[in-house]
Structure 1
Amino acid sequence: MVQLERADAVNRAIQRFIGSESVSWREGRRAERIKLLQTRPWLLHYEDDVPYSLHYPTQPLFRFLDIADRRFPNATATIYYDSTLSYRALRRQANRFANALTALGIKKGERVALFLPNCPQFVIAYYGALKAGAVVVNLNPSSEARELQHHLTDSDARVIVALNASYPMLVSIQAETKIEHTILTGLDEYVSRVRRATLQAENRIPKNPLFDKTPPPGVFFFQQWLDKSSKETPLVDVAPDDLALIQYSTGTTELPKGVMLTHANLVANTMQLRHWMPDVIETQERILCALPLAHSYAMTTCMNFAISIAGAMILLPTPQTGVMLEAIQRNRPSIFPGVPNIFLAINQFPNARSFGVKSIRACLSGAAPLPLEVQEAFEKITRGRLVEGYGLTEASPVTHANPIFGDAIAGTIGVPLPDTDAKIVDMETGWDLPIGEIGELVIRGPQVMKSYWNNSDATQRALRDGWLYTGDIARMDEEGYFTFIDRKSDVIQKNGRVIFPRDIEEVLFEYPQVSEAAVVGIPINGDFQNELIKAYIVPTRNAKPTREEILAFTRSRLPETNVPEEIEFRDALPKTFVGKVFKRKLLEQENKS
């Protein structure tokens, strides 16, 4: 009796006989890897323990907090003016917040606004709102009334959590919004009585006279409100694809837009960062949260990342250099996400080394280009690693980073994170450009936003065929490293030539008497195709550079067409709340004058 073989087995045998390409699963995997590296050359530069692709848990973002409590209930979650919360305490407080929201009638998908600086209440409210199935509206705590009113009105938020010092402003705009409930808190909450008295005596945190009064209807005091609620897990079904966050873009060059990020987006970016730092040890890391958690960069790299590894968040309400260094000395952080201005300020602070900065092992710089001089000086002081990365609110926000302990290339934003595709396209046609060409950076990955809130036109411009068009100009080299050139909207048009402000700013930074610089194009007689180059300069301490000295220096390093035509010296430049130069404000000031 002859046994017949299956047809596919016969076909495989025939293919082996005539010499097909793949003869084993190992060879097949090798061929797949070669093909992958041809299209994504950056993968060659991943550190050894960083995977090309990740498995993402199908869970809401707050599950990281639940897991941290279950596995490490006594691990420190927050450090705030020397007072701490464990992960068990943090989870129970978040549960109380969620159940209290439900008792107010807040339903799944409704918006809860956070108008807070860095403090334990922010973390509690953020994760508590998500546990209730609500959508967090993360607001800049330094916003003025007009901007705050716009965001509250645009998002239709029903609840706002804010400092009691903000209450008069909230009252003044409430009638124009849909806010029904206001939860007030103070920076002295979650601080021990002894430490509170010291901080108030030093005018580091204000007293809370409101807490001695009975609040009007619709107003609640944070801890009193939580104490009346259950600490048990809320019974709200939240799916990974549900909307978690509306984060308004900073709007440095255009008006802010509400970015819609799902739980899956935020989980993906948190996991990408977690695996980008393969040497982290759960419960052993301390993350310095000097950047405002109200910004997407700090929200992900400081808060969500810390909770995913059961790390301790060192919460600083204000990023003052002296306060930061004191916190470093007292709490010994190992990881420090920041921006160039913060690292520069530490470099320039007298005797910075004496504050024990050598505990800092790894730093990621974002939000603005990292000058080489700042990077080298900071690494010399701390003996840690400082690398530049890149992101935008629309991508949760991190998409690129230099390897922390691997092949970091100064002056670049590094390579795409796992499962992130990136390419450079022509700014007019949208066609793919060859390696080395300058064009618009476009990105694809699991961290890319769902859409813009109430702005379908902007969504259609930004999201095309699965790719996010960033509005940033960049180039990619043969190794797969990307270099940020400039914002598309910042490009200066002059007599038919395209000029990149960053090229001029980098030269100005080289001048020893320049501390900060920003370059913008000012339309001549309203003609945006013919702009005047103006540089705004903040001199270093006690320095008094002249216009002639600056011009002579730039002429020695730039073509004449790129030399600034106007120079204005200032004591400070307008900045966003994460320290990025606010160029839109500079242009608005020019228009007014």
Structure 2
Amino acid sequence: MDTPAASNEGLRPWIASYPDGIVWDDVIDTTPVHEQVLAACAKNPGAVALDFLGGTTSFGELAESIVAFAGALQSQFGVTKGTRVALMLPNTPFYPIAYYGVLRAGGTVVNCNPLYTVAELGHITANAGADIMVTLDLQQIFEKGEALLKAGHVKKLIVAHFPNALPLVKKILFSVAKRKDLAKVSQSPHAGVITSFEDLLARKDSPSPVTVDPSKDIAVQQYTGGTTGIPKGALLTHANISANMSQIDKWGDGLFLPRSTVVAVLPFFHIFAMTVCMNVPLSNGTRVVMLPRFELKALLNLLTRTKANVLPAVPTLLNAIARADTATAEQLSSLEVAISGGAALPDEVRSAFAKKSKALLAEGYGLTEASPVVCCAALRKASKPMSIGLPLPGTDIRFVDVDSGKVVGVGENGELQVKGPQVMAGYYENAEASQDAFMDGWLRTGDVGHMDEDGYVFLVDRIKDLIICSGFNVYPRTIEEATMTHEAVEEVNVIGVPDEYRGEAPVAFVKLKAGQSVTEADLKTFLAGKLNKIEMPKEIIFKDALPKTLIGKLSKKELREEYAQTKGRKS
């Protein structure tokens, strides 16, 4: 347990705006998350922990699986304190079992987005030294695991059988109707280093005790580019993870207790969902209802069936609900609170959603390096419009002039900087980036904004060129480098533009080589094998020349101005 320094309301104007009953300098719980979840399982083993497409897992069953998986990791794979284990899984019951099992065994979780290209996954697993990867036998995902094995980026795969996540009838139907979607794992040329997830659980090995130092031992190595294009492994200690859970729990004022049901349509491998959709509710003994990906019809059916009341979301998802004729007020009637994160929430989306649902829509803000939540609007009453709310309990923030480095006053714009128990230990084996991430002990966010006299925080811009698309980081450099590999391309510059559906989307400006020609459709087809769907440019605009700075560097500033003047030309 950690207690923040005594508060000074003169320096923390947000404290006066806190909802009744929430205390800024309350005790923060830093008990490792797997211990909290196993305790919740023991408290009420018969309650439903996980609901996946109607198939349920009780807290008792979840605990048995976590312990068995931890035991097998230790006995069969030699996992011990500090061993990196990669998880490449969509939302299924396998994910929490693997996640908590790795932590119980003493290992460190390395999350991998299954949508990433093999090259991107290879960088993450190789950099982390994650020799073991847990994944699924769905062909589209499994073939990436095979490619990583072939390239030597991982040495062993643990593969779960997807139909086992489904309720009996759906399992039978899937095995018959969609058999071709499943990989023939036993026929893989790498079968000798592939182990069945279910076989490991069936062993029921008992794990050896592991002594965790919450403040030093790393629970999750979460890859993020921050404000640069090469992903770095943010080192999140057990205390970072559990502190942010405790902060969110206090801020929720009972919202995440068992009377609630939390929707997990956001992917657990994303830091926002990992914390808010999984760790916080399960540690409280609260039911989590999952979808493997976002489909509007499936989400509406889930809400109708489960009467879930808490929906963590990204603006893209909220916009889809708000704009859909098929989404009725009746289907959304169970929702009490929707929490928007991962990207800025446009006012248009907020207004449109309010016409469909009576749920309180609260915008939050965070970053991977803060485990992730820093600020959030109140979850029990309305907050100031367009604000990302107030700093969470135990969290300090300040705004610093981007040019001078001096702390600015109330209402003045500056870079948002953060201190608190949820702030990372640094980046994995990257001392220079770790040093650059902090200023005088404060985490630099790269976001520009200000605080008003009541302590409410407002963001206005980002310092760097990172594009946040549907809550995911997209790096212009990645798109530019892929585009430059086309033989007809001479120069390319990528910017982020406002997008009603995704929040932001990349647009590529391209100059072709003399005498060369290529269409937008042809170039997108070429890029399809090099970029994931999130990175694919919304639009490719061909120009005779691209603007440059005085020293000859390609400049984005003029392109942003040009695009804004055309009022967001659409493809």
TM-score interval (norm. to shorter): 0.7 to 0.9
Aligned position for 1:63: 35
Which one-letter code corresponds to 2:66 in the other structure? A
**Once the 2 structures are TM-superposed, how far is the Cα of residue 562 of structure 1 from its aligned partner?**
9.0
Match of 1:110 among 68, 75, 83: 83
Partner deviation per Cα, 1:428-463 (whole Å, 9 max, x = no partner): 222101111111110000000000011111100112
* Structural mapping, 1:171-570, within 5 Å: 171-177=146-152, 179-199=154-174, 206-207=181-182, 209-210=184-185, 216-230=191-205, 232=206, 234-241=208-215, 242-249=217-224, 254-280=229-255, 282-353=257-328, 356-490=331-465, 505=498, 518=505, 524-525=547-548, 527=552, 531=556, 533-534=558-559, 563-564=564-565, 567-570=568-571
**Once the 2 structures are TM-superposed, how far is the Cα of residue 356 of structure 1 from its aligned partner?**
2.1
Moved more, 286-295 or 273-282: 273-282
Which one-letter code corresponds to 1:328 in the other structure? L
**Unpaired runs of at least 5, structure 1:** 1-31, 493-500, 536-559, 571-593
Instruction: Give the TM-score, by structure 2 length.
Output: 0.81
Q: Is the 8 A contact 1:199 1:205 kept in 2?
A: no
> How much identity, in percent, do the aligned residues show?
33
- CA shift in 2, pair 1:350/1:187, >3 Å: farther
- CA shift in 2, pair 1:488/1:532, >3 Å: closer
Q: Distance in 2 between matches of 1:515 and 1:152?
A: 28
Partner deviation per Cα, 1:530-565 (whole Å, 9 max, x = no partner): 545446xxxxxxxxxxxxxxxxxxxxxxxx999436
- CA shift in 2, pair 1:379/1:479, >3 Å: same
- CA shift in 2, pair 1:94/1:369, >3 Å: same
Aligned position for 2:12: 40
Partner deviation per Cα, 1:472-508 (whole Å, 9 max, x = no partner): 111111111111112111399xxxxxxxx99x84xx8
Q: Distance in 2 between matches of 1:367 and 1:229?
A: 38
Aligned position for 2:492: none
**Once the 2 structures are TM-superposed, how far is the Cα of residue 214 of structure 1 from its aligned partner?**
11
Q: Is the 8 A contact 2:271 2:371 kept in 1?
A: yes
**Once the 2 structures are TM-superposed, how far is the Cα of residue 407 of structure 1 from its aligned partner?**
4.5
Aligned position for 2:101: 128
Q: Distance in 2 between matches of 1:338 and 1:204?
A: 32
Q: Is the 8 A contact 1:533 1:563 kept in 2?
A: no
Aligned position for 2:525: none
Moved more, 295-304 or 405-414: 405-414
Partner deviation per Cα, 1:347-393 (whole Å, 9 max, x = no partner): 11223116621111111101111112211222332211011110000
Q: Distance in 1 between matches of 2:257 and 2:143?
A: 42
Moved more, 169-178 or 561-570: 561-570
- CA shift in 2, pair 1:212/1:146, >3 Å: closer
SS at match of 1:359: coil
- CA shift in 2, pair 1:491/1:426, >3 Å: farther
- CA shift in 2, pair 1:395/1:532, >3 Å: closer
Which one-letter code corresponds to 1:313 in the other structure? V
Q: Is the 8 A contact 1:75 1:283 kept in 2?
A: no
Instruction: Give the TM-score, by structure 1 length.
Output: 0.78
Q: Distance in 1 between matches of 2:405 and 2:34?
A: 38
- CA shift in 2, pair 1:491/1:124, >3 Å: closer
Aligned position for 2:49: 77
**Unpaired runs of at least 5, structure 2:** 468-494, 510-545
Q: Is the 8 A contact 1:424 1:433 kept in 2?
A: yes
Q: Distance in 2 between matches of 1:179 and 1:530?
A: 39
SS at match of 2:165: coil
Q: Is the 8 A contact 2:37 2:284 kept in 1?
A: no
**Once the 2 structures are TM-superposed, how far is the Cα of residue 404 of structure 1 from its aligned partner?**
1.6
**Once the 2 structures are TM-superposed, how far is the Cα of residue 290 of structure 1 from its aligned partner?**
0.6
Q: Distance in 2 between matches of 1:252 and 1:163?
A: 31
Q: Distance in 1 between matches of 2:325 and 2:449?
A: 36
Q: Is the 8 A contact 1:200 1:206 kept in 2?
A: no
Tell me the number of residue pairs that the alignment of Structure 1 and Structure 2 aligns.
Answer: 498
Q: Is the 8 A contact 1:325 1:355 kept in 2?
A: no
Aligned position for 1:14: none
Aligned position for 2:113: 140
- CA shift in 2, pair 1:431/1:252, >3 Å: closer
Which one-letter code corresponds to 2:570 in the other structure? F
Aligned position for 1:163: 136
SS at match of 2:328: helix
RMSD across aligned positions (CA): 2.9
Partner deviation per Cα, 1:258-310 (whole Å, 9 max, x = no partner): 11000000000001111111132632211110111001010001001111221
1:97 and 2:120 correspond = no
Partner deviation per Cα, 1:45-80 (whole Å, 9 max, x = no partner): 111121212323342221111220121111111000
Q: Distance in 2 between matches of 1:479 and 1:519?
A: 35
Q: Is the 8 A contact 1:490 1:520 kept in 2?
A: no
